[in-house]
């Protein structure tokens, strides 16, 4: 049992190199190595040379191969797992403005959320925007209510403030309305609505669908390229603190081709701390095929290196099929042509589809494309499908498709969940999908619609509880802790064509990175803090501070493609215990 012990995540980073038959640089002993190999081995020790795992096994055997210069690290009962991989996160888009945004992720109350705004107001010049771009829900607050314009004014009276709730609503201060020039509904296209009190005065809330909310966000002052580069660096550091070592970015909605430049510049500067596999979407409605042909003319599938790699097209493959439960024959024909074109070029394709009731349109198209140009082996996938039926999942399995599954229902309110009726007990049917051998990748879909903490997603997989503590799946559809970990490691790596290099702690796989040219591994030394959370409380990560904590912001800042640093997170006891107890 691991109750009371700290989870330390060994970051799986480093460029490819062969394992040499020499003494290891470092050995880890005195803990539990959750290898996630085919036999579910839990080893006592691990040896690492360079950037590769050299040996995994009994501590006595590993100690025998240590040389005079080998560093021996005593884990003191701690647990090592492979680095986590979010298989569906909008990391590129999140990084663009990350350095200029305030996060309400993990905030337990409106009072705390306002405190974060107040802190931001103390360091942001008067008159400049304060922005919360999403990743929160009123269900997370102890007050169980939405913030008000008065709340914002008390926290940041001298700033325009923008608060986004998913893709459904935005809360602005009066200065925000003035800065965006919003006086009536006609100033919030398309079809936005200003919520008003009985006397006609605005409450501060603007409601609309995704195009409306996206349009509002895009009217905010854009960051410079250097700000976006630093924001991307900062966002990746934040993900590192959660034990994430890789992301698959689906491109998709609200990400223009030129906005990839911050990521590319950071990669060229050898500043990535996260392995990134990315997709591209066509920017122009009605010209999708021509756009793809132009964007990929000199970008064949798999272009890149261990840190940055082109991973095909999606998640909005065409505009006509995106979020359209009743596509026309013309919409389907356009999609078919692009699917055939992608399959002919060996491209991976991922497609956003939220609801099972209409996914037959997409699966019928995939079946038709596969009969024209077989795509099995190209690792095509359907993203979301939060209420997937067994029928749809079986069709996906038969077509060789994978399922990119996220914890979107964790933020679902109780009223919306009740609409599922009896099907809620198997929403989504994770255990059944695992049983049928369907490829599954774990993720969050962060950061506009979900918290990017992977341990929330992992915990939701194994207990099925929403942020309010409502059960969404019965015991028959709850995977084990090991199955959940596999989904978030090797399962996700499969969608990046990388499961043979990462996702498990095995000989020859990527290992911990080195620091400042020396084989140093930064491990937590203090016991777990913050035990005693409720079932619906979030597992949070705090930046490590003080001499006894070997990983802080400065260490994370020195991650690079040359292999410096490692990511270590500290979590609330409930999330860690639920995940690892009994493994």
Average pLDDT score over residue span 315-342 = 97
- Among 234, 383, 270, CA closest to 317: 383
Cis peptide before 190 (omega within 30 of 0): yes
List C-alpha distances in Å: 496 to 310, 312, 394, 510, 513: 9, 10, 22, 15, 20
- Among 361, 275, 370, CA closest to 318: 361
Confidence at 539, pLDDT banded by 50, 70, 90: very low
pLDDT of residue 421: 87
pLDDT of residue 355: 94
pLDDT of residue 422: 85
57-85 pLDDT, tens digit each: 999 999 999 999 999 999 999 999 999 99
SS3 443: strand
Task: Give the sheet arrangement for strand 161-165, strand by strand.
Answer: 130-132, 161-165, 169-172, 202-207, 193-196
E strand spans, 444-577: none
Burial of 320 (0-12, 13-18, 19+ CB in 10 A): middle
Pairing between strand 130-132 and 275-280? unpaired
- Decide if pLDDT at 434 tops 60: yes
Confidence at 425, pLDDT banded by 50, 70, 90: confident
Average pLDDT score over residue span 89-94 = 97
pLDDT of residue 137: 95
List C-alpha distances in Å: 151 to 112, 123, 176: 11, 19, 14
Q: Which residue has the higher pLDDT, 3 or 140?
A: 140
Could you tell me what percent of the chain has a pLDDT over 90? 78
- Decide if pLDDT at 547 tops 80: no
- Among 558, 572, 502, CA closest to 530: 572
CA torsion 153-155-157-159 (nearest 10°) is: -110
Average pLDDT score over residue span 185-195 = 97
| CA–CA dist 122, 226 (Å, integer) | 23
| CA–CA dist 504, 147 (Å, integer) | 43
Average pLDDT score over residue span 173-182 = 98
What residues contact residue 108 under an 8 Å CB cut-off, 6+ apart? 140, 141, 142, 537, 538
| CB atoms inside a 10 Å sphere around CB 329 | 7
pLDDT of residue 43: 96
E strand or H helix at 458:
helix 454-463
Residue 55's beta-bridge partner residues?
Answer: 47
How many degrees, rounded to 5, is the angle at CA 81 between CA 65 and CA 105? 150
Could you tell me what percent of the chain has a pLDDT over 70? 84
DSSP per-residue string spanning 350-381: EEEE--GGGHHHHHHHHHHHHHHS--TTS--E
- Decide if pLDDT at 576 tops 50: no
What residues contact residue 341 under an 8 Å CB cut-off, 6+ apart? 289, 292, 293
Q: Determine which of 167-171, 249-253, 348-352, 449-453 has the lowest per-residue pLDDT on average.
A: 249-253
- Decide if pLDDT at 533 tops 90: no
pLDDT of residue 34: 95
pLDDT of residue 530: 26
| CA–CA dist 189, 211 (Å, integer) | 8
502-520 pLDDT, tens digit each: 999 999 998 643 222 222 2
pLDDT of residue 254: 85
Burial of 378 (0-12, 13-18, 19+ CB in 10 A): buried
Mean pLDDT of the chain: 86
Average pLDDT score over residue span 549-563 = 28
SS3 395: helix
What residues contact residue 470 under an 8 Å CB cut-off, 6+ apart? 412, 414, 417
Confidence at 21, pLDDT banded by 50, 70, 90: low
């Amino acid at each position: 049992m691991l109750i009371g012990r700290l989870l330390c995540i060994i970051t799986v980073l480093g460029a490819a190199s062969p394992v040499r038959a020499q003494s290891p640089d470092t050995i880890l002993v005195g803990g539990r190595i959750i290898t996630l190999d085919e036999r579910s081995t839990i080893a006592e020790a691990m040896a690492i040379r360079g950037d590769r795992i050299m040996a995994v096994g009994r501590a006595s055997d590993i100690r025998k191969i240590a040389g005079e210069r080998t560093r021996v690290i005593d884990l003191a009962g701690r647990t090592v797992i492979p680095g986590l991989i979010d298989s569906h996160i909008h990391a590129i888009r999140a990084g663009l403005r990350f350095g200029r945004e305030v996060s309400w992720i993990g905030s337990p109350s409106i009072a705390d959320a306002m405190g974060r705004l107040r802190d931001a107001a103390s360091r942001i010049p008067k008159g400049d925007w304060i922005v919360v771009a999403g990743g929160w829900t009123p269900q997370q607050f102890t007050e169980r209510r939405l913030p008000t314009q008065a709340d914002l004014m008390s926290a940041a009276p001298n700033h325009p403030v923008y608060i986004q709730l998913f893709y459904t609503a935005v809360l602005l201060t009066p200065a925000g309305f003035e800065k965006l020039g919003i006086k009536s509904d006609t100033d919030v296209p398309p079809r936005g609505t200003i919520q008003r009190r009985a006397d006609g005065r605005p409450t501060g809330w603007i409601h609309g669908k995704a195009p409306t909310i996206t349009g509002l966000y895009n009217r905010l002052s854009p960051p410079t390229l250097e700000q976006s580069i630093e924001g991307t660096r900062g966002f990746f550091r934040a993900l590192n603190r959660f034990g994430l070592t890789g992301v698959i970015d689906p491109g998709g909605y609200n990400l223009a081709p030129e906005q990839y430049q911050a990521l590319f510049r950071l990669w060229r500067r050898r500043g990535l701390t996260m392995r990134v596999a990315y997709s591209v979407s066509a920017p122009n409605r009605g010209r999708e095929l021509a756009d793809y042909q132009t964007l990929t003319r000199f970008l064949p599938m798999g272009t890149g290196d261990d840190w940055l790699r082109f991973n095909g097209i999606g998640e909005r493959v065409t505009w006509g099929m995106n979020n359209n439960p009743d596509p026309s024959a013309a919409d389907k024909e356009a999609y078919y042509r692009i699917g055939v074109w992608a399959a002919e070029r060996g491209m991976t394709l991922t497609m956003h589809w939220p609801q099972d009731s209409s996914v037959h349109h997409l699966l019928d198209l995939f079946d038709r494309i596969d009969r024209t140009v077989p795509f099995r082996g190209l690792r095509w996938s359907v993203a979301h499908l939060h209420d997937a039926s067994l029928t749809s999942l079986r069709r996906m399995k038969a077509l060789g498709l994978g399922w990119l599954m996220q914890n979107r229902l964790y933020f679902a309110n109780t009223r919306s969940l009740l609409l599922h009726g009896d099907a809620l007990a198997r929403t989504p049917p994770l255990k059944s999908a695992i049983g049928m051998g369907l490829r599954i990748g774990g993720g969050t879909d962060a950061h506009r619609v979900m918290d990017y903490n992977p341990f929330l997603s992992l915990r939701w997989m194994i207990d099925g509880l929403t942020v309010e503590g409502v059960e969404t799946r019965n015991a028959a559809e709850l995977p084990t802790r090991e199955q959940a970990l596999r989904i978030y490691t090797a399962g996700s790596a499969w969608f990046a064509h990388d499961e043979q290099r990462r996702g498990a702690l095995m000989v020859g796989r990527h290992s911990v990175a080195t620091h400042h040219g020396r084989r140093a591994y930064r491990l937590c030394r203090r016991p777990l803090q913050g035990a005693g959370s409720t079932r619906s409380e979030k597992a949070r990560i705090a930046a490590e501070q003080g001499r006894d904590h070997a990983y802080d912001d400065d260490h994370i800042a020195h991650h690079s493609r040359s292999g410096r640093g490692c990511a270590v997170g500290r979590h609330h006891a409930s999330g860690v215990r639920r995940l690892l107890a009994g493994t």
